[in-house]
Amino acid sequence: MGLDPGMTVGLAILNLSGEILDVNSFKEASRADITRHIINYGKTVIVATDVHNPPKMVKKMASSLNSRIFSPYRDLAVSVKNELVDDYLCPQDQRLPIRRSRFNNNLIPQNAHERDALAAAIQAYKKYQKKLEQIERRTQSLELSSKMADDVKIMVINEIPITKAINILLEKMNPPIHPAAKSHHNDNSSKTSLNGVKNRIKDYGEDKKFQDTLKEGHTSETSPEISKLQNRLKSQEKQIRNLQNRNSILEDDIGQYQDEIFQLENRIQRLQYQYSQNILQQKEITKKNAIIKGIQEKYNHEKALRRDLEDQLESIKRIRAMELSREASPVKIIYSFSRDGIREVASSKNIKGGDVVLLQSSKGGGSHTASLLIELGVKAVITTDKMSHQAKEAFEKNMIPLLEADKIDLKMADDFAVIMNKELNREIDKWTKNQEEKKKKEDRNKLLKIMDDYKAQRKRSSHNS
């Protein structure tokens, strides 16, 4: 019987052949009412629970019903209980002892309490199933009734070996014979045995001489042949008794070996259960470790991002402090003269109009790349290497000074640089003057070219005329 205690009590009753007799639940019922309901189905041998530590109600119920308690090695998980019940109600192996319940909807659990009770009962039955089936085979070979088989099962569940339980039952059926009656019984048995021997000899014709004696009427007990046969019979009866004693000893040995096998099978089952639980636990640990590792990686990423943002903020604060000092101008460093490099620094260091920027590398930049800085309205661009002609032309066209880093006193500090305002203005003025002179020179050259072209045209016209 499986029992699930609580406000709603779940109950499941199986017989000793594994058939489900009842699946029920009782809401706010007294223990007496539940006990009366259980007694209607006969004697209770086991009260089973689905948790390792039996609840108080299970202990009290087992005590009042004078039955044993079964509890699993560990609390049964919901998935395990569902699997137990589903496999038992709809077994793939049709040899399982589910005959009545498979087609009876009243014996299918209708709620979690009934399911838990049925799972506990099934788990208890499975523990004893092989031994109970063995008892059925042996009692059937002895032509014992199902009631007698159940009596043997009850004794075996109460830890009495199978052979001993059967012998106890047989002794109850055939009580020991009183000594006086035993003597009379032995005399009759001897005569019966003697007659049986005579009949067998006569039927099978094993002793021709004895048949001749019988035909001649020599049937007296004093006949030498009869005496010889009696002695032979006694010897055979003694041999039979010895064989019976030997057989009884061997049956006891078999019973002990079967008990050992049963205990070993239970141990194997327990170890398999623990092994499967350890595998599930290891899988769960691996899963949790993966989650923890993912969280740790995310935390490290966020931590590194926060550190970068703090560094950027500190850098911006230092730059802002220099801007406010009016004695020096911060120089914002651009590491790559590309669209992505400019946009990244423009975002992180807040490049705005009037800022001075330093190109650590001018490689790869052209007029389109230069236009990004031009649109930002930078005050000047400091270079460390040779810039492409297209980029240089774009800056000069928009009058954005290009200063060479090795010709100015540039002080580097971490991820930014500083240039004194006086020097910066002086270099800008110098570049501006150079550009103006360059422009004047270009304009003069253009004018001279125009004049030369005009003279050449006049000369060709006069020559033609």
Query: Of 409, 372, 366, which is closest to residue 389 (Cα–Cα)?
Result: 366
DSSP 10: E
- pLDDT, tens digit, 9 for 90 and up, residues 261-297: 888 888 888 888 888 888 888 888 988 989 999 999 9
CATH 3.30.230 fits 327-457, yes or no: no
Q: Which long-range contacts (CB under 8 A, 24 or more apart) does 105-109 make?
A: 106/23, 107/20, 107/22, 107/23, 108/23, 109/10, 109/12, 109/23, 109/85
- pLDDT, tens digit, 9 for 90 and up, residues 250-267: 777 787 787 788 888 888
**What pLDDT does residue 103 have?**
44
Per-domain residue ranges for the chain? 2-172, 228-325, 327-457
DSSP 17: T
Range picked from 205-214, 215-224, 452-461 for highest mean pLDDT? 452-461
Tokens of 130: 């092989």
Tokens of 42: 């006969």
Tokens of 208: 């021709």
Say if 2-172 and 327-457 have the same CATH topology. no
Please state the φ and ψ torsions of residue 100, each to the nearest 5 degrees: -80, -35
**Contact in structure between 53 and 30 (CB atoms under 8 Å):** no
**Contact in structure between 389 and 364 (CB atoms under 8 Å):** no
The CA distance from 235 to 307, in Å, is: 105
**What pLDDT does residue 313 have?**
78
Mapping DSSP to helix (H, G, I), strand (E, B) and coil, where does residue 203 land? helix
CATH architecture assigned to 2-172: 2-Layer Sandwich (3.30)
**Per-residue pLDDT for 307 more than 70?**
yes
User: Is the backbone of residue 70 left (phi > 0), alpha (psi -120 to 50) or beta?
Assistant: beta
Q: Which amino acid is at 371?
A: S
Q: Which long-range contacts (CB under 8 A, 24 or more apart) does 295-302 make?
A: none
Mapping DSSP to helix (H, G, I), strand (E, B) and coil, where does residue 4 land? strand
> Whole-model pTM?
0.41
The CA distance from 339 to 64, in Å, is: 87
Q: Which of 217-221, 316-320, 430-434 has the lowest mean pLDDT?
A: 217-221
The CA distance from 121 to 58, in Å, is: 13
Provide the pairing of β-strand 416-420 with 411-413.
antiparallel
The CA distance from 340 to 349, in Å, is: 14
